[in-house]
Copies of this chain bind each other. A is one copy, B any other.
Amino acid sequence: MDSLAMKPEEIEAESFRIIDAEAGRHDWPPAEWQVVRRAVHTSADFEYVRSMVFSQGAVEQAVAALKSGYGIVTDTNMALSGISKVRLARFGTRVNCHVADPDVIEIAKQEGITRSIAAMRKAVGDPVNRIFVIGNAPTALFELLRLTDEGTAKPALIIGLPVGFVGAEESKNALAASGQAIPFITNIGRKGGSNVAAAVVNALAILAGQC
């Protein structure tokens, strides 16, 4: 069928049919697969089938966290833009990114830290913020883990998908090594990104809306 004659929902269904057919054999349980295949959908990159990592029970905990109406904090405005606000509206979820806030820019300059770090410190100052979505900055993820260790941050879920060549892989390894204390969704390697991070949130929001 000509893709130009297809409705958006038909294009999405056909995309997922192709992904399921081409992904080949894998061991993802159904709920995790909904998340993994949406990462593949947004990137056209089947590497996520092999590289994604979930803490035990992360999807159920993520769904519960979304239904609790916890605030979502992203590290980039791209990730913020990519998250479907319509799907989250029913839970009263606020989604924020502080990286371009004037006070964050000022503090980063004064203290000689990255804006990503300053933005994360601001975010954890509001106790409603318990879902953290990091698609770009390794420093944001490292800082969040530090704030969690010291008890300042209390994440109900960390989606950690920084991308890049310096620190990204290490920050995700640190998240995965943090044990089962924090529910997390991440991946192995350099790939990731704000688009993939937003896709993971959207997949979880769909699951939360179904149950």
Q: Which of B19, B41, B78, B80 contacts A198 (CB 8 A)?
A: B78
Q: Is the interface of A mostly helix, strand, loop or mixed?
A: helix
Knowing A3-B166, A78-B78, say if A193 contacts B15 (CB, 8 Å): no
Contact A4-B195, Cβ < 8 Å, known A19-B165, A44-B163, A76-B81: no
Stretch at the interface among A6-14, A64-72, A150-158, A178-186: A6-14
Interface size class of A (residues with CB under 8 A): 35 or more
Q: Establish whether residues A4 and B139, one from each chain, have CB atoms under 8 Å apart when the complex forms.
A: yes
CB of A192 within 8 Å of the partner chain: yes
Q: How far is the CB of A46 from chain B (nearest CB, A)?
A: 10
Task: Kindly state the separation between the CA atoms of A8 and B138 in the bound complex, as whole angstroms.
Answer: 11
Cβ of A194 within 8 Å of any chain B Cβ, yes or no, is yes
A122, CB-defined interface residue at 8 Å? no
**Pairwise interchain contact B78-A165, C-beta atoms closer than 8 A:** no
State in angstroms the CA–CA spacing of A194 and B163 once bound together: 15
In the complex, what distance in Å separates the CA atom of A168 from the CA atom of B78? 21
Q: How far, in angstroms, from A168 to B15 measured CA to CA in the complex?
A: 11
Could you pull out 20 A-B pairs where Cβ atoms are within 8 angstroms?
A: A3-B167, A4-B142, A4-B167, A6-B166, A8-B114, A11-B166, A15-B164, A15-B165, A19-B165, A44-B163, A44-B165, A44-B191, A44-B192, A45-B191, A76-B81, A77-B81, A78-B82, A78-B198, A193-B193, A194-B195
